[in-house]
Amino acid sequence: MFEVYCNHKWILHKKRLQKYKLKGYLYDFCILFLIFESFRRIEEIMENIEKTVAQHLLKVKAVKLAAENPFTWASGWKSPIYCDNRKLLTYPEERKYITEALVEVIKDAYKDIDMIAGVATGAIAWGVMVAEALGKPFVYVRPKPKDHGTQSQVEGNIEPNQRIVVVEDLVSTGASSLSSCDALRKAGGIVLGMVAIFSYNFPLSRREFEYKDIELHTLCQYDSLLEEAVAQNYIDQKHLEVLRDWRINPSTWTGVEKPEVSDSI
């Protein structure tokens, strides 16, 4: 989508300038200005996708809040929010939109790929749909090798040096997502990058992705989700403050104290 948009605009720009017979510095200036406008438009498209994905997550009630009885993640972190992207799979319209958005991001970011990999279990379905749309082979990656049978962690066949894009449904600390990339590399694949539906965009996860040299593209991030949730009155001011406080230092956050109940009449 984005690549086609850019190419289409570039052709139009050249035709316009040829029509007016512009040359020299004026020609260069006009080209730079028109390219800038194209990228500005692409940024608007991406912002619209992020907003739409946030709307879909809220519409299907994938976002759960629990400040007083926080959720516990696999990492051990306590959280007042839980985003269950798997709920999107139930709804055909939302499922189609997410799949198409993932496909277009991959087409735009990666020109030559051999395979799609999904992170178990939440991204297996998304990975299969993306691979089908792109006409590419698919494998999925377990959190850890099986303790029986073949003891495989990567399910499916990978040829040496196959170029792989990983599909993830959600990125929190990044540990499980990056573990999947490690497994794919160990199996002989070349991991080009990862695309995900949603990310909490923690500084910790950003650093880990940079350290592992894994490029991450997400359709929606935490701040955009909160912004849309406020706009829809999905969360009130009290919850917003809790969610912002938690975001500052999630690894040490323990929850909101329950108000004391007085025994007096």
- pLDDT tens digit string along 58-78? 999 999 988 888 999 988 899
> Which two structure tokens, joined as six digits, stand for 73?
């993640």
- pLDDT tens digit string along 224-252? 999 999 999 999 888 899 999 999 889 99
Average pLDDT over residues 2-13: 44
Task: Name the one residue in this structure whose structure tokens are 């316009």.
Answer: 16
Task: Name the one residue in this structure whose structure tokens are 């849309």.
Answer: 228
Q: What is the DSSP letter of 148?
A: S
Task: Name the one residue in this structure whose structure tokens are 């495989």.
Answer: 152
Please give the radius of gyration of the chain, using alpha carbons only, rounded to the nearest integer. Answer: 22
Closest by CA position to 85, among listed 220, 188, 211? 220
**What pLDDT score does 11 carry?**
44
List, in order of start, the domains of the chain with CATH numbers.
Answer: 2-248 (3.40.50.2020)
CA 53, CA 154: separation in Å to the nearest integer?
A: 29
The whole-model pTM stands at 0.81
Cβ(156)–Cβ(139) below 8 Å? yes
Q: Tell me the CA distances in angstroms from 61 to 37, 66, 194, one per residue in order.
A: 36, 14, 25
Q: Which range, 14-23, 74-83, 94-103, is most confident? A: 94-103
- pLDDT tens digit string along 121-153? 999 999 999 999 999 999 999 999 877 777 789
pLDDT at 265 over 70: no
CA 93, CA 126: separation in Å to the nearest integer?
A: 14
pLDDT at 42 over 70: no
CA 252, CA 255: separation in Å to the nearest integer?
A: 9
